[in-house]
Amino acid sequence: MSKVIYFRDQLKRPLRDLRISVTDRCNFRCTYCMPREIFGPDHVFLPRSSLLTFDEIFRFAKVAVSSGIEKIRLTGGEPLLRKDIEHLIAKLATLRTPAGNKIDLTLTTNGTLLGKKAAALKEAGLTRVTVSLDALNQDIFAQMSDSRVSVETVLDSINQAGEAGLKPVKVNMVVRKGINDHQILPMARHFRGSGHILRFIEYMDVGDTNGWNMQEVVTGKEIIDIISTEFPLKSREAEHHGQVAKSWEYKDGAGEIGVITSVSQPFCGDCTRLRLSPEGKMFLCLFASKGFDIRAMLRSGASDQEIQSRLASVWGARTDQYSEQRGANMPTDGPKIEMSYIGG
């Protein structure tokens, strides 16, 4: 069992988390991520031939895990739309860190396909799951997701995932002022005591298509204040370095919630996340404009060592801290990547 030598970037942040987007397709059109007016019937998605195969994803992940990665999150678009994703999960679940530990293998989904797949995903080796749900009220849910899926479908999926052992199930709610902010308390009431962890996400200026403006942001502090009017809360210590959500727990023991405050209290200083796009580009920030291709190396017979040194040089040169610099008009390399392409 060898000691883990973490790759560190220019801000001394270790490489620990890998987010793998396995598709840019989704069956929702959430207005803050994939607005239909941009991602309409004529939108051209990535051709299948350009997507990394499961073997290529596994190979890159193996090299990344030997370079310090301890947690892998599968994202999209909607990752459960990728055919036979259980096969990829089964491969990734065989990975061990240099210290011999299992990796924390998780997935973010909109929940529409999760119900019937939960047991198979668990069987394949998935550790836990995060489900997006922006409202309990059907009309507001439809407005946020721009879909005709019923809230019941997603709620059933959350429970089935819990029953299948994909625990704790985390439920992510993106809050937009004037659209679903009055669903904060109904959501808190619903998930209190359920064992599922509800997390509130500040509306972010991801990509360049969601028409973001600061007036529509409900800050983490405002969300906590709203919930505290009915349910007293106390803050909790972060469980690990680089934890994204700030944790709180109900004083009456009814469980915990989280707030993700990328806008009001950025956390770039602890950001240990690398992202891999569906067609094999490495991105160093959710708000990046430029990616670093690794597919050509994977398809041209490069050795694991060569891929590892490419990873080391890309991460080593990283200085990204978009959220800390938001509004500072920092120079960019062009339009920001879309969240529906790179995942949250």
CB of 342 to ligand SF4, least distance (A): 10
Given 3-state DSSP classes, what are the helix, strand and coil percentages for the chain, each rounded to the nearest 5? 30, 20, 50
Integer Cα distance of 204 and 226 in angstroms? 20
Residue 246 interacts with ligand SF4 (CB under 6 A): yes or no = no
Residue whose CB is less far from ligand SF4, 17 or 78: 17
Q: Measure CA 258 to chain center.
A: 14
Residue whose CB is less far from ligand SF4, 59 or 273: 273
Among 9, 202, 320, 338, binds ligand SF4 (CB under 6 A): 320
Residue whose CB is less far from ligand SF4, 133 or 206: 206
Residue whose CB is less far from ligand SF4, 61 or 342: 342
Residue whose CB is less far from ligand SF4, 175 or 274: 274
CB of 3 to ligand SF4, least distance (A): 26
Restricting to residues 272-301, name those near ligand SF4 by CB under 6 A. Answer: 273, 285-287
Residue 323 interacts with ligand SF4 (CB under 6 A): yes or no = yes
- Provide the pairing of β-strand 170-175 with 197-202: parallel
Integer Cα distance of 341 and 8 in angstroms? 26
Helix (H/G/I), strand (E/B), else coil: 235: strand
Which stretches of the chain are DSSP H helices? Answer: 54-65, 85-92, 114-124, 138-145, 151-163, 184-191, 220-228, 295-299, 304-316, 322-325, 339-342
Size, binding site for ligand SF4 by CB under 6 A: 12
Among 15, 103, 271, 282, binds ligand SF4 (CB under 6 A): 271
Residue 322 interacts with ligand SF4 (CB under 6 A): yes or no = yes
CB of 231 to ligand SF4, least distance (A): 28
- Kindly indicate which of the ranges 24-32, 34-42, 130-138, 262-270 contains the residues binding ligand SF4, using the contact rule CB under 6 A: 262-270
Distances (CA, A) of 213 to 179, 219, 251: 13, 13, 34
CB of 239 to ligand SF4, least distance (A): 17
The answer to whether 248 and 220 have CB atoms below 8 angstroms apart is no
Integer Cα distance of 315 and 282 in angstroms? 9
- Kindly indicate which of the ranges 35-43, 85-93, 168-176, 316-324 contains the residues binding ligand SF4, using the contact rule CB under 6 A: 316-324
* Residue 45, phi-psi category: left (phi > 0), alpha (psi -120 to 50), beta (remainder): beta
- Kindly indicate which of the ranges 104-112, 114-122, 159-167, 315-323 contains the residues binding ligand SF4, using the contact rule CB under 6 A: 315-323
CB of 273 to ligand SF4, least distance (A): 6
Integer Cα distance of 144 and 138 in angstroms? 10
Residue 268 interacts with ligand SF4 (CB under 6 A): yes or no = yes
Query: Which spans of this chain sit near ligand SF4 (rule: CB under 6 A)?
Result: 262, 267-268, 271, 273, 285-287, 320-323
